[in-house]
């Protein structure tokens, strides 16, 4: 097997298969390509064979390839093609299950399992009595993919009459089906060394307290505790409170429990890690908090690890601080995220020195965690490091929010920390936001000064915060709306939305005539926020603005203010940007003019616009639109758009 970039000949053969026209005459060539030495060519040939859509003609040659014992690559490619053929392959494969060659019978069982269709189960159940043990095992495994009541019953029967290998296959198949047998059937199997692991996994899926009791009892015995732990890992659901108490007692009685669970948390086996997480939570082993965080990975284990860390409380958070930032630097990204959330949740004054170390460690992710946690540390000692973090552009927003939270309990300390930063030199934008958030109505003088700062980001921040000084807000914003920087005027546009009274209207009128699209878009949203119906004519004009962001903002404001008439909506439908057209269709399904125009939008270049047009016609169209919908559905190639067109046809035909 070779890669395309290292085997030009294989690449040429791959392209030849890819470019071969899908016509009946291609069948022999594609079958021959199943024997190619390159796995890429074989895989593509199997896909192209299925794309021929000639299942009856394909079955015989594919089954013939299965019989080539010396060609494993070709056989596997043929098997993949048979799986893709779906139900039509069941009959021939059932007959293959009666072949004289056990190798052929095993292949048939594997492919029937790959189909995953319950219709294949009866033949597989019969194959459980095959004379060849390999065929029996393959049939049992396949039943775990096809399922159905007869399959489950047959698999359960194997647990009492089959040998260990067949029993393991049946156990794994029942696990795949999520169909645990009665607990009484499983109990003997958890004692056998060959079936123990698979049996315990099913015990974990038994929804009964007795299963948990069985796990707890075996966790106290070293020979069986690893397997019992796996059962807990398979369970996934939260443990009942009384069971947690029993498990805590078992863990407390095991002198090496912490060391054992630490090893389990570091295991590559996900079920082992999950089981260990359950036990750590039950026993409240706070010292294992770092190992709990490290056990996290994407998906379920990460969520469970976070829940366990949350249950460990302040003691667990303190354990996460052991070893300082260097220990955190060695954690994987997911582990850092989980540990960070736990640290923020249980931040306390005793953690401040560690959080400051984390802030200064030079890692942006760790610094962000430190800032969030400092904001919830419930101590004035957090004010100074948070104020220092305001100078970091990436941390400034979180630091400002943390200081506002801290100021609720420690207003004087927080204010003094900010004053020192303001007196030390030119302010950052985050420092201006923090000052306004902490000082409130007393922030006027500093905001006036900030509006004359050389940095446009600082002036923009002062403009955004003007509303915290109601008595001076209009004057502050009057300076901002004439600023040469569009960024500052955008900040003013945001603040105007929160400013009440006639003064706000005058400022908004000016902003709605701004030459910069970003300012115009923000002003449209502020008109909506203020409920300014008088702005309807200007919003109608802006709905046709060549900049899509402006047009979308104006359209949204007009619709929600209730001033979007037919002229505005149909004008938006003529916009060159598809997003504007789509929003106009979505907003105007109750308008006859929009519904009439929606028929034309069925030919729009963008499939999502065509889909939205179909939905508009479904909501407001009539029988006269059926021909256009039928024609559009006939030519539509995008699945989601076709689905919307079919739904619209059904809706109109039902009227």
Range in 152-161, 165-174, 234-243 with the lowest mean pLDDT = 234-243
Structure confidence by residue, pLDDT tens digits, 191-242 = 888 888 888 888 888 878 788 778 877 887 766 788 888 888 877 666 777 7
Question: What average pLDDT does the segment 517-523 reach?
Answer: 97
CA dihedral for 216, 222, 228, 230, sign (positive or negative): positive
Unique residue bearing structure tokens 């293959």: 96
Reply yes or no on whether the pLDDT at 254 is more than 90. Answer: no
pTM, rounded to two decimals: 0.70
Distance of alpha carbon 485 from alpha carbon 507, whole angstroms: 16
Distance of alpha carbon 470 from alpha carbon 498, whole angstroms: 10
Predicted confidence at residue 86, as pLDDT, reads 86
Token pair belonging to 306: 């976070």
Degrees, nearest 5: CA angle 633-637-643? 55
- 5 versus 472: the higher-pLDDT residue is 472
Question: What average pLDDT does the segment 185-195 reach?
Answer: 87
CA distances (Å), origin 184, targets 22, 159, 199, 284: 56, 11, 11, 32
Residues 321, 285: contact at Cβ < 8 Å? Answer: no
Reply yes or no on whether the pLDDT at 1 is more than 50. Answer: no
Distance of alpha carbon 215 from alpha carbon 516, whole angstroms: 68
Structure confidence by residue, pLDDT tens digits, 565-604 = 999 999 999 999 999 999 999 998 889 999 999 999 999 9
Structure confidence by residue, pLDDT tens digits, 8-53 = 788 888 888 888 887 878 888 888 988 988 888 898 888 888 888 8
Structure confidence by residue, pLDDT tens digits, 612-626 = 999 999 999 999 999
Who contacts 490 (Cβ-Cβ below 8 Å, separation ≥6)? 460, 518, 519, 522
Predicted confidence at residue 299, as pLDDT, reads 65
- 84 versus 374: the higher-pLDDT residue is 374
Predicted confidence at residue 249, as pLDDT, reads 86
Residue 89's nearest CA partner among 61, 127, 129 is 61
HEC sequence for 134-149: HHHHHHHHHHHHHCCH
């Amino acid at each position: 097997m070779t890669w395309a970039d290292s085997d030009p000949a294989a690449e040429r053969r791959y392209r030849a298969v890819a470019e071969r026209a899908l016509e009946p005459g291609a069948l022999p060539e594609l079958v021959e390509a199943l024997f190619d030495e390159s796995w890429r060519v074989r895989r593509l040939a199997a896909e192209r064979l299925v794309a021929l859509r000639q299942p009856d003609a394909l079955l015989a040659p594919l089954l013939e390839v299965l019989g080539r014992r010396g060609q494993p690559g070709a056989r596997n490619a043929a098997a993949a093609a048979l799986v893709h053929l779906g139900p039509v392959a069941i009959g021939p494969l059932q007959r293959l299950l009666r072949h004289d060659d056990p190798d052929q019978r095993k292949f048939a069982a594997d492919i029937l399992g790959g189909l995953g269709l319950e219709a294949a189960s009866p033949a597989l159940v019969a194959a459980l009595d095959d004379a060849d043990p390999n065929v029996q095992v393959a049939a049992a495994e396949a039943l775990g993919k096809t399922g159905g009541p007869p399959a489950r019953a047959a698999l359960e029967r194997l647990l009492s009459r089959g040998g260990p290998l067949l029993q393991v296959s049946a156990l794994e198949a029942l696990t795949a089906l999520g169909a645990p047998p009665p607990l009484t059937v499983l109990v003997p199997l958890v004692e056998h060394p060959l079936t123990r692991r698979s049996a315990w996994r099913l015990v974990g899926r038994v929804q009964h307290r007795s299963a948990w009791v069985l796990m707890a009892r075996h966790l106290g015995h070293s020979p069986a505790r690893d397997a019992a732990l796996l059962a807990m890992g398979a369970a996934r659901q939260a443990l009942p409170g009384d069971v947690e108490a029993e498990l805590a007692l078992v863990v407390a009685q095991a002198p090496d429990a912490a060391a054992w669970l630490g090893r389990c948390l570091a295991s590559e086996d996900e079920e082992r890690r999950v089981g260990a997480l359950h036990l750590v939570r039950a026993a409240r082993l706070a010292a294992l908090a770092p190992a709990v965080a490290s056990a996290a990975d994407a998906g379920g284990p990460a969520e469970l690890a976070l829940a366990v860390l949350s249950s460990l409380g302040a003691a667990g958070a303190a354990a996460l601080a052991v070893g300082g930032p260097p220990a955190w630097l060695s954690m994987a990204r997911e582990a850092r995220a989980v540990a960070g959330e736990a640290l923020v949740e249980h931040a306390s004054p005793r953690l401040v020195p560690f959080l400051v170390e984390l802030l200064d460690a030079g890692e942006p992710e760790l610094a962000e965690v430190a800032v969030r946690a400092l904001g919830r540390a419930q101590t004035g000692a957090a004010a100074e490091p948070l104020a220092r973090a305001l100078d970091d552009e990436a941390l400034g927003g979180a630091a400002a929010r943390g200081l506002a939270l801290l100021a609720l309990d420690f207003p004087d300390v927080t204010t003094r920390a900010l004053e020192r930063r303001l007196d030390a030199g030119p302010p950052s934008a985050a420092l201006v936001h923090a000052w306004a958030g902490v000082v409130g109505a007393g922030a006027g003088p500093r905001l006036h000064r900030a509006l004359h700062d050389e940095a446009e980001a600082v002036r923009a921040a002062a403009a955004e915060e003007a509303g915290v000084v109601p008595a001076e807000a209009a004057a502050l914003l009057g300076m901002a709306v004439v600023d040469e920087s569009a960024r500052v005027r955008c900040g003013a546009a945001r603040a105007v939305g929160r400013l009440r009274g006639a003064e706000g209207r005058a400022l908004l009128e000016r902003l709605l005539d701004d030459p910069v699209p970003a300012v115009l878009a923000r002003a449209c949203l502020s008109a909506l926020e203020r409920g300014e119906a008088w702005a309807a004519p200007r919003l109608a004009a802006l709905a046709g603005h060549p900049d899509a962001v402006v047009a979308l903002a104006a359209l949204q404001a007009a619709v929600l203010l209730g001033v979007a008439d037919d002229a505005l909506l149909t004008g938006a439908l003529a916009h060159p940007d598809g997003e504007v057209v789509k929003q106009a269709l979505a907003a105007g399904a109750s308008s006859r003019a929009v519904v009439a125009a929606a028929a034309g939008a069925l030919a729009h270049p963008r499939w999502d616009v065509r889909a939205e047009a179909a939905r508009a016609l479904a909501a407001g169209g009539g029988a006269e639109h059926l021909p256009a919908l039928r024609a559009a559905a006939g030519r539509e190639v995008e699945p989601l758009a076709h689905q919307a067109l079919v739904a619209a046809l059904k809706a109109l035909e039902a009227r």
